[in-house]
Amino acid sequence: MAKSTVLSCIQPSGELHIGNYFGAIANWVKLQDTYRCIYGIVDLHAMTMPYNPEQLRQNTEQMVIDLLACGIDPAKSILFIQSLVPEHTELNWILSCVCSFGDLTRQTQFKDKSSQIENQTGGDFISAGLFAYPVLQAADILIYRADYVPVGRDQEQHLELSRDIARRFNNQFGPFFPEPKVLSTETPKIFSPADPDKKMSKSLGPKHYIGLFEPEDSVRAKIRTAVTDSGVLLPSVTMSPGVENLFEMLKACGKLDEAATLLKDYETGELKYSRLKDAAATALVELTEGLRTRRAEISGNSAAVMKKVRAMSEQAREIAGETLRQVRALVGLPAKN
């Protein structure tokens, strides 16, 4: 029986942090054993925000290396670079003609990212690409006729738009695209060690995130200074966000027995937060050291790595090209050959 197809993509935004890893990438690695997985590095999406061209190139290559270091296996999955598969942009135009202006105005992330640009640059230039990129995101998914997309809550609205576009296309031109479903998986929610009420994010500054390949001294320093109890708790809350965040980090690293023991001590009032911090830091160091070693091995042969990802991007083009061939026939465009 053929495996269902899972599609997921990531922007080449520079250094990965443990929130990215536990929230998405570790799950990608697990999914490879069950599904036909296609993973993309979407460099075209990165162009919707202010960027430096050379930095974009470097970030894209680095993301390839980082994902391979994390366990994305070319023998099990396809890992492609979006701009090397131009069929995405052709399907993007076709789908933009079956997506309404009103649908795009209701996408909440456009407002959030517009505000972010204004705060960062002090200017008021917002690209049309930022407004329309949910259609390209739909093309990324639909061109592989994906059955499932693992997404977080902040992306559910965009996946629903992809489903709406697929439905409208099918109604207008005949049944063709499957409506992609959310692949719900249990993923830890990791917050900033400096402000555990906020999601871990590089945009908040260095003290708010722990890099996935960060050196031991830096990891331990950030956990040592992590916020624990930050004030009086509400009657309905039994654990402060900071303490809960440290427990989540420990469990996400697979230290379930150690977390259970420390939790018992917490419940009896015997836990010193220094013990919890030491345990969380040690678990994270074990993770980051292993990943750093693996990344160093892969980086030493970067030319071969990029040759491999170009070959995988050609595999993606074959799949995307067949989809586009059928789409062109359905919408009334001439065959290319």
Tell me which residue of 287, 325, 267 sits closest to 18, measured CA to CA. 287
How would DSSP label each residue in 116-152? HHHHHHS-----HHHHHHHHHHHHHHHTTT-SEE---
231's tokens: 């004030």
Rounded to whole angstroms, how far apart are CA atoms 138 and 92? 8
- 200 and 192 Cβ atoms separated by less than 8 Å: yes
- 258 and 271 Cβ atoms separated by less than 8 Å: no
Question: What's 203's DSSP letter?
Answer: G
Tell me which residue of 287, 290, 280 sits closest to 258, measured CA to CA. 280
Question: Which of these is catalytic: 3, 30, 111, 113?
Answer: 113
Question: Which of these is catalytic: 76, 189, 199, 207?
Answer: 199
SS3 call for 33 = coil
Rounded to whole angstroms, how far apart are CA atoms 267 and 256? 16
Question: Which of these is catalytic: 76, 189, 202, 308?
Answer: 202
Active site residue 199: yes
Tell me which residue of 23, 63, 56, 21 sits closest to 41, measured CA to CA. 63
Rg (CA), the chain: 22
SS3 call for 184 = coil
Active site residue 189: no
Catalytic residues, by residue number, are 113, 199, 202
